[in-house]
């Protein structure tokens, strides 16, 4: 991560900001997982902890849908992706100067949890394949039962949709049942 970030920054200050954001996401994930004995975590807890520095921004709306669980292997990636989305929005997007709106909503469809970020950006967002973009798009890689991320940046809009099987509903795999 350090090597990748160092290739994408132009100054020591920028490097510090990038690394601080990534380490904050890792710290949040560690705390949530330790509190939950390294098991699946509450989505509300992951969201509240990841976005704590941004919750006072009047442009950010959290649609408190049903709570759900997120598999332990996805907590770190999701925490870092949410922090990345907020950081980018604070610097360049709808949360800069509290303009908004940014809406983070969640829903459960059958056994699938869906978390959606919708941002109306005041300027055309950067659609390049930066480290942050790759971090967001890969945030649910390796989730048992399949995790999916759709991330689209278009004129005046940033949209991210994260979905995964609710950890409390996913049955153990056949190999885990026979162990």
DSSP letters spanning 29-81: HHHHHHHTTTS-EEHHHHHHHHTGGGTT-TTEEEE-----EE-HHHHHHHHHH
The band of 148, judged by pLDDT with boundaries at 50, 70 and 90, is very high
145, 165 Cβ separation under 8 angstroms: yes
Structure tokens at 38: 């390294």
Average pLDDT over residues 140-169: 86
Give the three-class secondary structure for 96: helix
pLDDT for 19-78, tens place per residue? Answer: 665 666 566 666 666 666 667 788 888 898 888 888 888 899 998 878 888 888 888 889
The band of 162, judged by pLDDT with boundaries at 50, 70 and 90, is very high
pLDDT of 159 strictly over 70: yes
Q: Closest Cα partner for 119 from 77, 60, 163?
A: 60
Structure tokens at 24: 């904050």
Which residues are 121's β-sheet partners? none
Q: Mean pLDDT, the chain, as a whole number?
A: 77
Q: Closest Cα partner for 131 from 13, 19, 50?
A: 19
Structure tokens at 17: 């900001």
**Whole-number pLDDT of residue 142:** 81
**Whole-number pLDDT of residue 21:** 59
**Whole-number pLDDT of residue 116:** 96
CA distance linking residue 46 with residue 113, whole number of Å? 14
pLDDT for 91-135, tens place per residue? Answer: 888 888 777 789 999 998 888 999 999 998 766 666 667 777 888
């Amino acid at each position: 991560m350090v090597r990748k970030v160092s290739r994408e920054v132009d100054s020591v200050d920028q490097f510090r900001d990038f690394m601080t954001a990534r380490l904050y996401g890792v710290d949040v994930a560690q705390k949530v997982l330790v509190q939950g004995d390294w098991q699946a975590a509450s989505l509300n807890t992951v969201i509240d902890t990841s976005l704590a520095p941004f919750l006072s921004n009047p442009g950010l709306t959290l649609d408190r849908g049903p709570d759900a669980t997120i598999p332990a292997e996805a907590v770190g990636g999701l925490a870092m992706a949410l922090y990345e989305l907020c950081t980018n929005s604070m610097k360049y997007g709808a949360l800069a100067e509290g303009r908004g709106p940014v809406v983070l909503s969640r829903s459960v469809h059958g056994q699938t949890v869906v978390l959606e970020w919708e941002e109306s950006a005041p300027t055309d967002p950067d659609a390049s394949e930066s480290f942050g973009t790759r971090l967001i798009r890969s945030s649910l890689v390796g989730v048992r039962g399949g995790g999916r991320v759709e991330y689209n940046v278009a004129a005046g809009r940033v949209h991210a949709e994260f979905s995964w099987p609710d950890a409390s509903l996913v049955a153990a795999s056949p190999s885990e049942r026979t162990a």
